[in-house]
Chain A
Amino acid sequence: MATVMRDFNLLEEPLKEKPDLPKSPKEAVNPLEPKFRVSNLNVFYGATQALHNVSLEIPPNRITALIGPSGCGKTSFLRVLNRMHETVSTSRVEGQVLLGEQNILTMDVTQLRRRVGMVFQKSNPFPKSIFENVAYGLRVNGWHRKGTLHDAVEASLRRAALWEEVKDHLHKSAYALSGGQQQRLCIARALAIEPEVLLLDEPCSALDPIATAKIEELLFRLKEICTIVIVTHNMQQAARVSEFTGFFLLGKLIEFNKTAVIFKTPARKETEDYITGRFG
Chain B
Amino acid sequence: MASLPIAVERRSRPPSRGRVRAFVAGLRSGDEIAHLITLMFAASIFLITALLVFELWRNSALPREHFGWRFLWTRVWDPVFENFGALPFIYGTVVTSSVALLLAVPLGVGAAIFLAELAPRRISNGLTFLIELLAAIPSVIIGVLGIFILVPVVRTTVEPFLKKTLGFLPLFQGPMFGIGLLAASLVLTIMVVPFIISISREVLLAVPVEQREAALALGATKWETTWKVVVPYARTGIFSSVFLALARALGETMAVTMVIGNDPKINASLFAPGYSIAAVIANEFTEATGRLYLQSLIELGLVLFVVTIIINGLARLLILTTTRRATAHP
Residues of B within 8 A of A140 (CB): 215, 218-220, 224, 228
Whether A87 pairs with B218 at a CB distance below 8 angstroms is no
As a 0/1 sequence over residues 291 to 330 of chain B, the CB contacts with chain A under 8 angstroms (1 = contact) are 0000000000000000000000000000000000001111
Count A/B pairs, Cβ under 8 Å.
80
- Whether B44 sits at the interface, judged by CB under 8 Å, is no
By beta carbon, the residue of chain A nearest B208 is A124
CB distance from B206 to the nearest CB of A (A): 14
Whether A111 pairs with B327 at a CB distance below 8 angstroms is no
A127 to B329, CA, bound (A): 6
Whether A126 pairs with B229 at a CB distance below 8 angstroms is yes
A48 to B329, CA, bound (A): 41
Whether B218 pairs with A127 at a CB distance below 8 angstroms is no
- Whether B144 sits at the interface, judged by CB under 8 Å, is no
Q: Most chain-B CB neighbours within 10 Å: which of A87, A127, A171?
A: A127
Interface residue range, chain B: 20 to 34
Whether A110 pairs with B220 at a CB distance below 8 angstroms is yes
Interface of B, secondary structure class, is helix
- B232 touches which one: A84, A87, A127 (CB < 8 A)? A127
A118 to B216, CA, bound (A): 9
Residues of B within 8 A of A125 (CB): 214
CB distance from A271 to the nearest CB of B (A): 30
CB distance from B19 to the nearest CB of A (A): 37
Q: Most chain-B CB neighbours within 10 Å: which of A124, A137, A141?
A: A124
Whether A87 pairs with B327 at a CB distance below 8 angstroms is no
- Whether B217 sits at the interface, judged by CB under 8 Å, is yes
CB distance from B219 to the nearest CB of A (A): 4
Residues of A within 8 A of B209 (CB): 87
A window 156-181: CB within 8 A of B: 171-176
Whether A173 pairs with B329 at a CB distance below 8 angstroms is yes
By beta carbon, the residue of chain A nearest B220 is A140
A190 to B216, CA, bound (A): 11
Whether A120 pairs with B220 at a CB distance below 8 angstroms is no
- Whether A55 sits at the interface, judged by CB under 8 Å, is no
Residues of A within 8 A of B216 (CB): 84, 87, 113
Interface stretch, picked from A14-22, A128-136, A239-247, is: A128-136
- Whether A193 sits at the interface, judged by CB under 8 Å, is yes
Q: Most chain-A CB neighbours within 10 Å: which of B232, B233, B327?
A: B327
Residues of A within 8 A of B328 (CB): 127-129, 132, 171-174
Which residues of A are interface residues toward B (Cβ below 8 A)? 82, 84, 87, 110-111, 113-114, 117-118, 120, 122, 124-129, 132, 136-137, 140-141, 171-176, 186, 189-190, 193
27 sample A-B contacts, Cβ–Cβ < 8 Å, listed by A number: A87-B212, A87-B216, A110-B219, A110-B220, A111-B219, A113-B219, A117-B217, A118-B213, A118-B217, A124-B208, A124-B211, A124-B213, A124-B214, A126-B211, A126-B229, A126-B232, A127-B233, A127-B330, A129-B328, A140-B215, A140-B218, A140-B220, A141-B218, A171-B328, A172-B328, A174-B328, A189-B214
List of 9 A-B pairs having minimum Cβ-Cβ separation, nearest first: A114-B219, A124-B210, A173-B328, A137-B218, A118-B217, A175-B330, A113-B219, A129-B328, A124-B214
